[in-house]
Structure 1
Amino acid sequence: MASGTVAPVSVSKGAGVDLIPHQFQYHTTETDASVLLYVTPEKAQAGLTKLVVEAAQAAVKAKGAFTLVLSGGSLPALLGPLASAKGIDWSKTHIFFVDERNVPHTCPDSTFKAVQEALLSQVPIPASQVYAIAEGLPVEQAATQYEGRLISIPASALPRSADGGFPVFDLILLGVGPDGHVASLFPNRPETAATQGWVLPVKDSPKPPPERITMTMPVINAAKEVAVVALGESKREIVQRVLEVQALPGALPAQLVRPKGGKLKWVLDVASAELLDVASWGEGKEFPRSSF
């Protein structure tokens, strides 16, 4: 500051007063989190099948319907054993997609196509209970239409949460990308920070194809149970970062997955868990994230 210039007067009202909150926030509700570690990908696939069957049986017993939400990527290829699994009443099962590419159902990029080929074509589930994205709509309309379909489902089958009226799905299966994204909620994006709405459009996804729809983080965190499936050597770095290194809120969207009052499970195999220092988790560090 030049000599003789009057210093500006501070307009601060005091420490902590009238601060603008960061757009990303970790909620403080406790989450029941655990890691399921399997020796091989095949055993992990069997464990995932068991997890789905148990969730289906519990949901049908409690309310007469089972709501299962699926993601894309490598997950659909793991769903095949569900077709022959005992204990799933497909007539009472409803299938949803946590995110979807805004492409025709016949396109190789379509998650619906992948799930249809791996599972749905092999089970007697009513077509009306498979909630695929509408084809041929602008992405904003596709998101609105998908949210409208969810809202129309009776609360007896798809209950609403007490705080905010979000849908309470029985089980959401997520993958995790190398950048830590889940669904189509990418690092430091406004969709990832959204606190309202059930389904949002994504126009310029950093991962192709650019147009997608995605469920919001509050919807994911309203679920009874969320399982993040990460198998293989390609996942080991991001698994270690998410489970052991606390990032700034929003930098690793997978760290924002904290079901409010629900259960969070990470399904891993030896290859994806290779970099984890599990022995240190009992040394006072927060689980599943460290405090350093």
Structure 2
Amino acid sequence: MGKPPNLYAFPGVDELAQSLRVFVLDAQNSALSRHQVFRVALSGGSLPKVLGKALLQETNGGGKVQFDKWEIFYADERAVPLDHEDSNHKLVKEEILDKIPAELGQPKVFPIDVKYLDDVQEMADQYEQTLVSVFASRDSVRLPMFDLLLLGCGPDGHTCSLFPGSPLLRESDAWVLPISDSPKPPPKRITLSLPVATHGIKIGFVATGGGKKDIMKQIFDTDEGRQLPCGLVNSQAQERVSWFVDYPAIEGVSFPARRGSL
């Protein structure tokens, strides 16, 4: 039995962002020492805004962001054009990529292939092929291992585009899965599978606001919540998971949180 996930709580988003920066840069520096590249999978929602705040603020906490060594993938994406308001890539571009100072360099980014907007199975297959080409040939790697996955938590406990009760949660072979009937619009998406989402060297969740307190209590304090997608990541990846939350998001949560810093 491994150790439980880490739950870090902060008075507000500014303090959260400072510690998230330290966490990300620690993952970056470890990855660069291992293989000279930092492979990150990002979700959308409120995460890109907080991550942009963490990475682009003036503070030097945690050292230097070496964006030119980053490779950014998407933990999930919507089957929409890259400039569509529902696109996670558009969010990341606006909140992070477009704001990176020239001297820090630009990451290599792997968006979806928009040729396949009308065929989410083919889009998922193509994105999986992208992962195969980056993470080695399929027969030598059972699962891609990201240096860091940064994920969000929906009010229903979903993460990536893995929703509660979905049969996709039982998928054990595919790396990338198609969704044509997402309970949350837009309906057509692709997502990393649960085995890939739990296989990262480090996994970070960001959840803020009082609107998250009920689902956070479920995930951390109840057996039912441990079966929700976020709870499954917690139980399968254990101490490799770190949550960054503000105080309102864990009001009433019994699970012990470390308050104020990493």
The amino acid that maps onto 2:130 is R
Instruction: Give runs of aligned pairs for residues 239-250 of structure 1, distance below 5 A.
Output: 239-247=216-224, 250=227
Q: What is the DSSP-based 3-state SS (H/G/I as helix, E as strand, rest coil) of the residue aligned with 2:30? A: helix
| Partner of residue 99, structure 2 | 122
| Partner of residue 2, structure 2 | 30
Gaps of 5+ in 1: 1-28, 282-292
Cα distance per residue 1:194-224 (max 9 Å; x no partner): 1111001000000000000000000011111
Question: How large is the RMSD of aligned CA atoms in angstroms?
Answer: 2.3
Q: Percent identity?
A: 35
| Partner of residue 110, structure 2 | 131
| Partner of residue 50, structure 2 | 78
Count of matched residue positions in the alignment of Structure 1 and Structure 2: 245
Gaps of 5+ in 2: 258-262
Q: CA deviation at 1:50?
A: 1.6
Q: With structure 2 as the length reference, what TM-score do the two structures score?
A: 0.87
Q: CA deviation at 1:41?
A: 1.7
Instruction: Give runs of aligned pairs for residues 123-272 of structure 1, distance below 5 A.
Output: 123=100, 124-126=105-107, 129-137=108-116, 138-155=119-136, 165-247=142-224, 250=227, 252-257=228-233, 258-260=235-237, 263-272=240-249
**Kindly tell me: are residues 59 and 160 of structure 1, through their superposed partners in 2, closer, same or farther at Cα, counting changes over 3 Å?**
farther
**For 1:248 and 1:73, how far apart are their aligned partners in 2?**
21
**For 1:223 and 1:178, how far apart are their aligned partners in 2?**
23
When Rg is computed on C-alpha atoms for both structures, the one with the higher figure is: 1
The amino acid that maps onto 1:226 is I
Q: What is the DSSP-based 3-state SS (H/G/I as helix, E as strand, rest coil) of the residue aligned with 1:200? A: strand
The amino acid that maps onto 2:41 is V
**For 1:256 and 1:220, how far apart are their aligned partners in 2?**
10
Q: CA deviation at 1:160?
A: 8.7
Q: What is the DSSP-based 3-state SS (H/G/I as helix, E as strand, rest coil) of the residue aligned with 1:226? A: strand
CA contact (8 A) 1:103 1:136 kept: no
Q: Which has the higher contact order (CA 8 A, sep 6+)?
A: 2
Richer in helix (by share): 2
Q: With structure 1 as the length reference, what TM-score do the two structures score?
A: 0.78
